[in-house]
Amino acid sequence: MTEPVVLAAAGAALILDLAGPGLPRVVHWGADPGPLDDAALRALVTAAGGDLASAVEGPTQPVGSMPLLPTQWDGYAGRPGVTGDRSGQWPYLRLALDGPVSVSEGSVVAEAVDETAGVRVRSELRLDLHGVVHLRHTLTNVGTDVWTIAALRTVLPLPEQATEVLDFTGRWGLERVPQRRPLGNGTHARESRRGRTGHDATPLLVAGTPDFSEAWAVHIGWSGGHEEYAERISGTVAVLGGGELLEPGEVRLTPGQSYSTPTGYFVWSDAGLDGLSDRLHRMIRSRPSHPHGPRPLTLNVWEAVYFDHDLDRLTRLADLAARVGVERFVLDDGWFPGRRDDTAGLGDWTVDPVVWPSGLHPLVDHVRSRGMRFGLWFEPEMVNPDSSLARDHPEWILATPGRLPRPSRHQHVLDVARPEVADYLFDRISALVTEYELDYLKWDHNRDLLEAARDGVAGVHRQTAAVYALLDRLRARHPALEIESCASGGGRVDLGILARTDRVWASDSNDALDRQHIQRWTGLLLPPELIGSHVGPSPAHTTGRSAGLAFRCATALFGHAGIEWDISTCTEVELDLLAEWAALYKRLRVVLHSGRTVHGDVSGVVTDEAAVFVHAQLDNPTELRQRRLRLPGLHPERRYRVTRCWGADAELPDDGFITTGRALSTIGFQVPRLRPEQAIVFEVRGDE
């Protein structure tokens, strides 16, 4: 097929020129232009789709199209879509189509080859029903000796009006901090060599118009080294792209071997950042593996007991958890041999017979007798030097002999890509899941993978693929098991790990003020039901900041809610308030975990039938006056009843008030001035 093709869904579109001689060229990525007959489409491609090579001598027509893998042969002087070599030769590929391009409903598949270099590439592009582009490439060595890949990237072009870029940075305890700047000539790149996604990783790299009313974004679904970038090179089209960040010599393909990129997720919106989130959340919720059913209210005991495991104390916590309405009880770090602090025991995945002489059964049985599910913490990819495993199998550490990496948190990385290591972890974890009928694993990952190599060859790619395979194997054996991705908080939040897990722990900080920001920006990529969000103590253990219980509860409500606090220290009033909040969460979660997230004067989640909004005062305002709040996202012609369901007194009638969605979004209603770190939660229901 050589005619141009339009892929369109949910108001978004890609227009591809399939004429060759190389891989399909993207003429347009953005708004759906509507129906085009063949003549109109060909005329549009001719007018808007000049190729990159024409820029070399000075373009005679607009340079508006780009091959799916831009190279120097195409006239592109920026980051090439593919680089590699065969013993130093043929670093510059000249890919020509090999056979017709396959076009089916929403998808395009093309194969191209450079016979001289001995390289074949298969490109697969799909625009899903939600308007999200899924793009991946597979490179196969069809030569007679080794081909070493330096980079294989997923790339789409940006229009001229995308002049600013937004991304995120952060650290442990304060993940996903936004930063925004102009997109001028050059490359704005975010790279992670941490061997995991990283606390400073950006969930999306976004390019947009100056007011961000129109935006384009990319996410690379990979949990190892990765890059996302925006690039504008003088004289040619700007791009948004990314891929796995490979170390030298990390992927060497023998004849016949192939390497596939992680999926690059590309999303366009003409409704700002909320529009990006809406498309991504719909896509994520449509996955067969997406957790369905009510997300259980969880109590995790980490900040209650740390390593001090005592059956009486923990059963007391379980009793109180049941009283306030908790549905899942999770025993965190400290249950295995020698684990009285973080210096010993990692890797020895058996229950400590000293602390737990009868195993975990007394606690598990008690938790279940109170109507709660039971979960357990693991950190399978790591090992303490002070452990039986490290003493028995020092060769299982991910390291080159004689070059042990620098320890971090008193631990090293296990080489999960060794089959014997993966088998050991699978057998030990599976045995515990079976013995205790575990409902849930908190899967932690508490250090970066620095100098991660085996026998001198970089190993992050192998390690990441092996961890994915281990998770897939466990889920196949225990299909009802839920797994949380925790990496010293939010250090592994990406769609690669979330293809195999059921939620992420957004941050080790339960400071409600910081959590307001962390959860808001984690939610740019993920829907609320995938974001673990717990009520912690006051003052917060990570920051020492104090906040009222109502504010902490309001913050935790807008995620997969839980508690991480020694609630045996609570007063009766606090326990009653937690019980009231737990009941509210259970009533509202059908809305919170299915609706569209919106932001404006307030933040909220909106469905066709109802909505939940929070008005939170996060700082000390300059103006000491009451505010009028407008509620975004409601149907303009529908009538709604607005009631206060949590937090500070909003001076509403006991049964709220009724008005239209248009009035609520354009005029709003007045609420009293809040003190810093106060919040009001409003429930909005369609009124018939």
- Positions marked catalytic: 444, 508
Q: Are strands 457-458 and 453-454 parallel, antiparallel or unpaired?
A: antiparallel
Nearest in space to 443 (alpha carbons), one of 475, 420, 418: 475
**E-strand spans in 213-256?**
215-220, 226-232, 238-244, 251-253
- Give the number of other CB atoms < 10 A from CB of residue 168: 22
- Cis peptide leading into residue 159 (ω within 30°): no
Phi, psi of 503 (to 5 degrees): -170, 170
**E-strand spans in 523-590?**
531-535, 560-563
Task: Report the C-alpha gap between 684 and 664 in whole angstroms.
Answer: 10
How many residues are recorded in the chain?
688
How close are the terminal C-alpha atoms of the chain, in Å?
53
Contact (Cβ atoms closer than 8 angstroms) between residue 239 and residue 66? yes
Rounded (5°) CA angle 291-295-298: 130
Nearest in space to 209 (alpha carbons), one of 278, 268, 169: 268
Task: Report the C-alpha gap between 420 and 645 in whole angstroms.
Answer: 54
* Alpha-helical segments (H) within 395-511: 419-436, 460-477
- Give the number of other CB atoms < 10 A from CB of residue 20: 16
Task: Report the C-alpha gap between 333 and 569 in whole angstroms.
Answer: 21
Positive or negative CA dihedral for 541, 547, 548, 549?
negative
- Give the number of other CB atoms < 10 A from CB of residue 456: 10
Q: Are strands 639-647 and 627-629 parallel, antiparallel or unpaired?
A: unpaired
Q: Which residues of 556-582 are buried (b: 16+ CB within 10 A; e: fewer)?
A: bbbbbbbbbbbbeebeeeeeebbeebb
Q: Please give the structure tokens belonging to residue 173.
A: 């305890």
Task: Report the C-alpha gap between 126 and 154 in whole angstroms.
Answer: 13
In the three-class reduction of DSSP (H, G, I as helix; E, B as strand; rest coil), residue 497 is classed as helix
Nearest in space to 175 (alpha carbons), one of 405, 506, 452, 447: 506
Q: Could you give the C-alpha distances from 536 to 172, 335, 540, 553, 652, in angstroms and in order?
A: 17, 22, 7, 9, 29
In the three-class reduction of DSSP (H, G, I as helix; E, B as strand; rest coil), residue 183 is classed as coil
Nearest in space to 494 (alpha carbons), one of 239, 224, 274: 224
**For residue 413, what are the β-bridge partners?**
382
Q: Which residues of 195-214 are buried (b: 16+ CB within 10 A; e: fewer)?
A: bbbbbbbbbbbbbbbeebeb
Task: Report the C-alpha gap between 490 and 513 in whole angstroms.
Answer: 16
Task: Report the C-alpha gap between 474 and 380 in whole angstroms.
Answer: 12
**For residue 598, what are the β-bridge partners?**
604
In the three-class reduction of DSSP (H, G, I as helix; E, B as strand; rest coil), residue 137 is classed as strand
List Cβ neighbours of 43 (8 Å cut-off, separation of 6 or more).
none
